[in-house]
Chains A and B, each alone.
Chain A
Amino acid sequence: DGGITQSPKYLFRKEGQNVTLSCEQNLNHDAMYWYRQDPGQGLRLIYYSQIVNDFQKGDIAEGYSVSREKKESFPLTVTSAQKNPTAFYLCASWGGGANVLTFGAGSRLTVL
């Protein structure tokens, strides 16, 4: 089945540590996205990528970094510079004939 796989599903981190969230898709979609969702809040765009080796900052990119070395993969690193990283992180891809967003199941990060 085609889809998006995010890992880990749950992650605990100590303050000051960097952590990388994985996002892999086998939908052959060109564009990929990272969103952050806080409890009771909407989705805020962190980074997005149209093609391999290219990505753009979203609305809340500070304290995050990404890479897009392969079409299938778009990992997100939450750095120690992110002051309030506890949140639900959602990865999505855009493409195919319908041109809609397909989401992964999400990664829930908690900073202790």
Chain B
Amino acid sequence: GQQVMQIPQYQHVQEGEDFTTYCNSSTTLSNIQWYKQRPGGHPVFLIQLVKSGEVKKQKRLTFQFGEAKKNSSLHITATQTTDVGTYFCAGPYSGGYQKVTFGTGTKLQVIP
């Protein structure tokens, strides 16, 4: 079955440092979505990438979708304590929108 892996599993950074998480799928994705889950909360949608090679920015966050549509990355510039949480990538199979599989997640801790 489809597997979506993320690295690293955990990341501790000093406030102001940059952070990157990488997402790799075993199958081609029709699109990739990123979600953030704050401690004790539920995942909240951040962004969706659809096109091969697409890059999108949201303030200090930069998202990329790989050329083969099997990998993606999220980069945060100059982290803040509000960035704390677990970041997940997720995507449906290329053939349809039925099964949405989540990556293993990267837990970010920001040290003030």
Contact = CB atoms under 8 A, between A and B. Distances in A.
A104 B99 CA distance: 18
Chain A interface size range: 20 to 34
Nearest to B45: A100
Contacts of A44: 102
A20 interface: no
Contacts of B100: 33, 45, 48, 94, 101
B98 A43 contact: no
Nearest to B30: A99
B85 interface: no
A44 B3 CA distance: 11
Contacts of A56: 98-99
B90 interface: yes
B88 interface: yes
Contacts of B103: 42
Contacts of B102: 35, 42-45
Contact of A101 (B1, B90, B98, B104): B90
Contacts of B35: 101
A74 interface: no
Interface in A53-78: 56, 58-59
A85 interface: no
B88 A43 contact: yes
Contacts of A90: 42-43
Which of B33, B42, B43: most chain A Cβ within 10 A? B42
Contact of B97 (A94, A98, A102, A105): A94
A86 interface: no
Contact of B101 (A45, A98, A100): A45
B30 to A, nearest CB: 10
Nearest to A108: B40
Interface of A: 31, 33, 35, 40-45, 48, 50, 56, 58-59, 90, 92, 94, 98-106
